[in-house]
A and B are shown apart, each in its own frame.
Chain A
Amino acid sequence: MITISDKIKKLPKKDLKKWIAQREKAAKVKDSQDWKDELAKLKERLEDAKGTGEKGKSD
């Protein structure tokens, strides 16, 4: 089981993206499906945030 700290979950979008990219380079992450799933969840958050932001802009 993988747990990620609230500090990471609350990072601004740009910093979270950077953190995910850094994690993806780690050997442990490359070899772990659990890690891939967790990072995918974080990426979904990024996508959600992006969607809301773009809508706001076009409005």
Chain B
Amino acid sequence: MNACSVDLPGGVNGDCQLPLSEIKNILICDKDVSFTDAEVKVLSNWEAAINEDLEIYAVAGLVNYTPTTDDPNIVTNPVSKAKTITNSPVPSFEFMLDSNFCDFKSMLQTLKGGVYGVFFELHNGNIQGYVDQSGNDIGSFKPYKARINAYTKGAQEIDSNEAFKLYVNFLNANELQNQYYFAPIWGVDELLDAMPVGVNVIKTGAYASGDQEVRITTRCADAITGLVVGDFETSSTKSNVSTPAVTSVSDDGGGVYTLTVQKDSTPANIVDGDYVYLRVAKKTGDVYNYVSNWIRVEGVTA
């Protein structure tokens, strides 16, 4: 809006002087997540974004948070002595997560300052985002765009529970001007229930003769047994070989697996300079039940 606009805020709702509700939780999203006016009301659309498309991550909870948005810059005119506001700081936040090191480790590996979307769940049960009012997506409910960094000092401070931090720095002040409170008829906790189980995969040795041994556990917990070859997913975009694949899996017990990791349409072992990204992605139909971090398997000539 033009700073010189003669428009004044129109209307007042005297019966609706509610204080702004505090943030209860955050939903981290792919920056392009978008729900049309019809889609946003339906819980299954949100659940599918969480456990089928893996494009919304419902954080387990918050311990605390601090808005770190700067105050506007106020300049006093040396002649007239009148004050002028010379900027409009974009909102920023520091969130302290209710987490564990195993979950947070994955956040450290992922959230390194890239651009994501963020919805806020408020204490009154509303979901806060904004409704696009221009371009091709007019009327769509979207998350605020923000750069997100996960950070920890590596240890808990004495008498504290704020070791797992997330810095969320908004990119566009105008999204706040189009903010919208969506009041779902379902509880936001249901989104947390839709989250796949987080799994940890670590390599226990070097790749040799086609085989990569790994150990697979639920995060900070028990070994996962009984996984089969169809429970592993490779990424052709992250890998540097054609047709990356896990072609066989040996469940060696106690969460230890030997994966045969290969390339090409006629599968052959990867060699020096090749790498394949893979993860556990156990699904029922289109729904992810278990999903792990990506690991990079590097070829060696053996």
Contacts and interface: CB of A to CB of B under 8 A. Distances in A.
Contact of A26 (B211, B266, B268): B211
Contacts of A18: 266
Contact of B258 (A11, A28, A38): A28
Give chain A's interface secondary structure class: helix
Give chain B's interface secondary structure class: strand
A58 interface: no
A2 B248 contact: yes
A32 interface: yes
A52 interface: no
Given A1-B251, A4-B248, A8-B248, A22 B208 contact: no
Nearest to B211: A28
Interface in A1-57: 1-5, 7-8, 11, 15, 18-19, 22-23, 25-28, 32, 34-35, 38
A15 B209 contact: no
B209 A28 contact: yes
B269 interface: yes
Contacts of A25: 209
Contacts, number: 58
Contact of B250 (A5, A7, A15, A32): A32
Interface residues of A, number: 21
A2 to B, nearest CB: 5
Contacts of B210: 22-23, 26
B247 A4 contact: yes
B228 interface: yes
A41 B269 CA distance: 21
Interface of A: 1-5, 7-8, 11, 15, 18-19, 22-23, 25-28, 32, 34-35, 38
The 3 closest A-B pairs by CB, nearest first: A26-B209, A3-B228, A3-B229
5 contacts: A1-B251, A3-B230, A5-B245, A23-B260, A27-B208
